[in-house]
Structure 1
Amino acid sequence: MRFMGTFTPKLDEKGRLFLPAKFRDRLAEGVVVTQGQENCLVVWPPEVFDREADRAAERPMTSKAARGYNRMFFSGGDEVTPDKQGRIGIPAPLREYAALERDVVVIGVRDRLEIWNPTKWREYQEAEVVKFADLDESDDE
């Protein structure tokens, strides 16, 4: 299953998030929530998380960048099983990292979901829309 789309659920008073209904069956057995880049959170199906973890493990621990990535990737991670209503709890440290309050934006990004603070998502989109419009496969960047 591919994850696509933009959704605007709300966190409840206990820091729980309703997963988008169209993805609940796919994620019913559990997910891994980690810190993402650009201060978002990433919701991984376990098999996708395992592939990413394996890829990270292939880099030598003598690499400072590899150690840093692994520390950030795993230290904030949490394995979560959705409840019967399709909610997952987002631990307080992860909510703080992503500056999540009541309103959030959940986006599908092919093999995972990302959870964003709405203001940060808008700012990210505004900065990226020009780059996206100007993409040219002949560019070297």
Structure 2
Amino acid sequence: MRFMGTYRPKLDEKGRLFLPAKFRDRLAEGVVVTQGQEHCLVVWPPDVFDVEADRAAERSMTDKAARGYQRMFFSGGDEVVPDKQGRVSISAGLREYAGLEKDVVVIGVRNRLEIWNPTTWEDYQAAEIQKFSDLDEGGD
């Protein structure tokens, strides 16, 4: 299953998020939620997370950048099983990292979902839209 699209669910008072309905079957057994770049959160199906985790672990521990990436990637991670209504709990630490309050934006990014603060997402899109428009098949 490919994850695509933009959704605007809300966090409830307990920090739970309804996963988009079309993705719930794929994510019903559980997800891994981690810190992402640009202050978003990444929601990984466990099998996809394992591939990414293995890739991160392959880098040498003598590489300072690799150690830093691994620390950020794993330290904020949380394994979560959606409840029967398709909600996942987002920990307070992850909500704080991403600046999440009630309104959020969930985007599909092929093999994962990302959760964004709406203002952060709008700012990111505004900064990236021209770069996206300028790309061509030769791609620089």
TM range (shorter): over 0.9
Let me know the Cα RMSD of the aligned residues.
Answer: 0.6
Which residue number corresponds to residue 127 of structure 2? 127
Amino acid at match of 1:63: D
Partner of 1:94: 94
Give the Cα–Cα distance (whole angstroms) in 1 for the partners of residues 51 and 85 of structure 2: 28
Q: Does 1:103 align with 2:107?
A: no
Cα deviation digits, residues 9-64 of structure 1 (max 9, x gap) = 00000000000000001100000000000000000000000000000011000000
| SS state at 2:43 partner | strand
1:81-111 Cα shifts (integer Å, max 9, x gaps) = 0000000000000000000000000000000
1:115 counterpart residue number = 115
Structure 1 residue 138: deviation in Å? 2.4
Amino acid at match of 2:66: A
1:136 Cα deviation from its structure 2 partner: 2.1
Per the normalisation by structure 1, the TM-score is 0.98
Alignment size in residue pairs:
140
CA drift at 1:71: 0.1
Matches for 1:32-47 after TM superposition, within 5 Å: 32-47=32-47
What residue ranges of structure 1 are gaps of 5+ in the alignment? none
Q: Which structure 2 segments of 5+ residues have no match? A: none
User: 1:101-134: per-residue Cα shift (whole Å, max 9, x none)?
Assistant: 0000000000000000000000000011000000
Moved over 4 A (4+): none
Write the mapping of 1:72-87 to structure 2, written as runs, cut at 5 A: 72-87=72-87
TM (norm. structure 2) is 0.99
Q: How big is the shift at 1:137? A: 3.2
Identity %: 81
Q: Following TM superposition, by how much is the alpha carbon of 1:80 offset from its aligned partner in structure 2, in angstroms?
A: 0.1
